[in-house]
Amino acid sequence: DTAVSQTPKYLVTQMGNDKSIKCEQNLGHDTMYWYKQDSKKFLKIMFSYNNKELIINETVPNRFSPKSPDKAHLNLHINSLELGDSAVYFCASSQRGRGTQYFGPGTRLLVL
């Protein structure tokens, strides 16, 4: 029983392409997040949605656009991919007010 799942797990693409990463959680949580882990393993929040409403939007280029069709799903679309977008992207979920976030397996994105 996968709690937080992401697809795909690996993504290799050329500069300038557009790609999407999908995330789904079956924990019944109301809040979902996207984090980026760079090559030095540093993790940083990108976006957060609570009940389909955007509540956190850190300083992220406009090429990144999250979408939450319902509270169990959070997708990340990236336009015009750049070399610097290469990273591992993690989805996470939590119940607001409970603190603990549960992470998906990550999507390793490599831009060539």
Partner 1 sequence: AQTVTQSQPEMSVQEAETVTLSCTYDTSESDYYLFWYKQPPSRQMILVIRQEAYKQQNATENRFSVNFQKAAKSFSLKISDSQLGDAAMYFCAYATNFGNEKLTFGTGTRLTIIP
Which residues make up the interface to partner 1 (CB under 8 A)?
31, 33, 35, 40-45, 48, 55-56, 58, 88, 90, 92, 94, 96-97, 99-103, 105-106, 108
- Interatomic CA distance for residues 112 and 102, integer angstroms: 30
Please say which residue, 43 or 112, places its beta carbon nearer to partner 1.
43
107 pairs with which residues across the strands? 89
- Least spacing, CB of residue 40 vs partner 1, in Å: 8
- Least spacing, CB of residue 99 vs partner 1, in Å: 4
Please say which residue, 15 or 43, places its beta carbon nearer to partner 1.
43
Nearest to 64, CA basis, from 56, 101, 52: 56
- Least spacing, CB of residue 57 vs partner 1, in Å: 10
How distant, in Å, are the alpha carbons of 7, 35, 47, 112 from that of 58? 23, 10, 6, 25
47 pairs with which residues across the strands? 34, 57
- Least spacing, CB of residue 2 vs partner 1, in Å: 11
